[in-house]
Structure 1
C-alpha cells in the first residue's frame, strides 16, 4: 500500500464520520467514490500479476572487461485478462543501474526482448533475479513477484594481444648470451637440422622433410631470462576513476596482456601486488586462468606502498630475471628500490598508467636511463606502446652534471 492509499483510507473514515454526524449526502457520495476506487485498485493490482510468469536466458561463466553480452527475457500471461502497467526489472549487480522494461500483455500472450549488458569493471557479479512490478491505475497499491533464480558471472580483465614483443631481453645480456639450445619444445624454434635418434614427432619439420626427402627436425631455443615477475600497484591513493575509465582497470589489462605474451614466449610468470598472496612463477593455460581470477578479484584498496612489497619479495627474484612494475605513479621510494634491483642484475621495466597524458614523461631522467619505461592510458594502442618495453637500453653518455646529480641522489 502506497502512502496515498493510506491518505485516501483516512479521508474515507473522516467522510463517513462527517456523513453520520451531519447527514449531508455529499459526504456519503465522496466516501462511496473513494471506497470503490480503493477496492478496484486493490483487485486490479492482484489480478495484474495473476498467472504471470517471467524467465531469462542468461550467459553464465566468464566475460571480459569491455565486452557486452545479451540477456533474453520472457514474460507470459497465462490468464484471460490483459495485464497493463507492468514493469519487469532485472536486479543483476552487473552493468550499474537496474534494467526496467515496461510492458503490456494481452490475454494468453508471450513477449520476449533482449537486454544488452556492458562489462565495465572486472569482478564477480550476479545475474538476476527478475522482478515483475505492478501498480493500479490510481497508484494506490503496488505488488511485486520475484523470480528467485539467478546465476554468477566472473568478469576478467581485458586481454590485448602484444605480437610486437618478440623476445624477453635483459639489459645485461648481449645477443649471443640471451638464449641457449633446448632439448624440449619451446615457442622459439630457431633453426632446422637433420633428424637425430630420439627426436619426438612434434620436433619434425614436415615441410622441410618433404623438400629434402629426409627427416628434418626443429631446433628450439630457451630464453635465459626465463623468469618474469609482474608487480601490480593497488595502492588506492594513486588510482583515478573517470566515468567508465580507471587506472585500476588499465593496469589489470596491461598485467594480464604482458603475462599472456611472456608465457607464450616460454617465460615463467609470477604476479606481485598488495594482496595477501602472490601468484608464484608458472606457465600454461591453467596458470593464465589463475592469474585472470587473481586480477578479477583484486581491488585498488590498499594503503601499503608497492616499494614495501617489492622489498619483501626480493628473495623471489632469480639472477637475470625480469621485473615489470605497473603503477599509476612512481614515488621516490619506489624508484630507489628499482634502481637498487637494477644494480643487482635484474632487468626492471616500469609501465605507468593514467587517465590522460598529463603525467607522461614525468619519470626522473636518471631513472629512465636505468630502467625501461612506458606510459599508457585508456584507449592507448598497448602493442605499440609496449613494443620496446623489453628492448636493451642504450644509456645516455655520462656528463659532469649527471654524475654530480647521481652522486647527490645517493647520499
Structure 2
C-alpha cells in the first residue's frame, strides 16, 4: 500500500503547476550576465514540498539550481544571473522541475518553457595607438561609385523613387524644383578595409586549441570595432566552419553583423586561407586595404598578398603566435620584409591592445607608405 502512495506523491507534486520563465536578453558580450526570472503558481489545494528546479541547456557553465516549496494555491518567485565568458551560441532552458517522495524511491520530472538561444559576442579591447593608411586613390582620394547606403559622401540629388527612405530627402532641392528630391551618396574607398580571418585548422594547427582560435577571432573583432569607431568602411571575410562575407560598411548595425559572424566562427579544414584569398581576389583592388589575421606562416599566402600590394593596394599581416613561441625573427618574417608586407605579432587575447600598436611590434613600419618594389 505504501509504494503506490509514494509513487502518487511524486506524481502529484509536479501536477497543477503553472511556470513562467523570462530571460532579460538574448545577445550579450563575453563576461555579461543573463538574468532569468521564474514564477511558479500552484492551483492545487495541497502544498508542493521539496521541489527541485534546474535550468537545462548547452551552457559551458552549470546553471542555477534551487530547492523550494510552494504553498497551497501559492506562488513562488525567484531570479538568478548566469555569466557567460565564452563567445558562441548557447541554449538556456527549458526549466526542469523534479519532485520525489520523502524517501527518494520515486521521482517525477517535468519541463517548462521553451529553450532560449543566447548569442555571446566577443568583447574586444580598445586600440589607442593603431591605424593604417588608406589605399592609393586617384585625384582627390575618392572614386565616384554610387551606393544605396548612406555615407558621409553626398554625390548629388535625384528624383524620388518609391522605396527611398525619409532621411534621404533633400528639402532645399525639393522646395526649389517642386518635386521630391533625394540625396545620392558615393562610396568612400579611402577607408575601405577588408579584414580576412584565417581559421583553417591544419595551417594554423588549431585542432583542439581554443586559445589560438579565440586569439584570432578576438584580434579580428578588435580591428572591426576599432575601424568602425574611426568611421572607416570595413568588411569581413571569415573562412571558418561557416564561411561568411560582410561587405564594407559603417555604423553600429554593421559592427553587430560582424560581431555575430565572429561569435559563431570556428576552425575548419575545408576552406584554406590561400584559396579564399584567391577566390575573393576580385574584391581586393588597388583602392582597398587588406588586413590578414592568421596563425599560419604560408609563403603562398604571402605571395598572394604581395601580388595585391604590387597592384597598388595596402596590406598588413597580423600573425597570432602559438603559446610558447618566442618573439624572434623567422624566415617568414624575413619574407614579409622583402615583400614589403608589414607584420605585427599577437601573443594572446590578453595582449592584443599592446601588441597592436605601431610603437611596439610592427615590422618595417616605413613600408606602409611604400608603393614600389
TM-score, normalising length: structure 1: 0.66
Aligned residues: 320
Relative to 1, partners in 2 of residues 1:113 and 1:156: Cα closer, same or farther, differing over 3 Å?
same
SS in 1 for 2:59: coil
| Bigger-Rg structure (1/2) | 1
**1:264 aligned partner:** 229
Q: Provide, for residues 181-220 of structure 1, a one-character-per-residue CA deviation record: whole Å limited to 9, x for no partner.
A: 99x958xxxxxxxxxxxxx9xxxxxxxxxxxxxxxxxxxx
Structure 2 distance, partners of 1:48, 1:277, is 49
CA contact (8 A) 1:76 1:111 kept: yes
Q: Provide, for residues 327-376 of structure 1, a one-character-per-residue CA deviation record: whole Å limited to 9, x for no partner.
A: 22222332333333334433222223356343644752313423222233
**1:134 aligned partner:** 99
Question: What is the Cα deviation at residue 38 of structure 1?
Answer: 1.2
Q: Does 1:334 align with 2:317?
A: no
Relative to 1, partners in 2 of residues 1:300 and 1:156: Cα closer, same or farther, differing over 3 Å?
same
Unaligned runs of 5+ in 2: 144-150, 154-169, 171-186, 368-373
Structure 1 distance, partners of 2:49, 2:84, is 32
Question: What is the Cα deviation at residue 83 of structure 1?
Answer: 3.0
Correspondence for 2:201 among 236, 239, 244: 236
Correspondence for 1:353 among 274, 298, 320: 320
Q: Please identify, of 136-145 and 119-128, the stretch whose mean Cα deviation from structure 2 is larger.
A: 119-128
SS in 2 for 1:246: helix
Q: Please identify, of 324-333 and 71-80, the stretch whose mean Cα deviation from structure 2 is larger.
A: 71-80
Correspondence for 1:102 among 67, 73, 90: 67
Q: Provide, for residues 72-104 of structure 1, a one-character-per-residue CA deviation record: whole Å limited to 9, x for no partner.
A: 333444545443342212123334445433334
TM-score, normalising length: structure 2: 0.72
Correspondence for 2:34 among 54, 69, 74: 69
Correspondence for 1:56 among 11, 16, 21: 21
Q: What are the residue-to-residue correspondences of 1:90-169 with 2, within 5 Å?
A: 90-107=55-72, 110-165=75-130, 167-169=131-133
Structure 2 distance, partners of 1:179, 1:390, is 29
Structure 2 distance, partners of 1:224, 1:322, is 9
CA contact (8 A) 2:13 2:99 kept: yes
CA contact (8 A) 2:29 2:120 kept: yes
Correspondence for 1:393 among 360, 365, 370: 365
Q: Please identify, of 350-359 and 302-311, the stretch whose mean Cα deviation from structure 2 is larger.
A: 350-359
CA contact (8 A) 1:240 1:355 kept: no
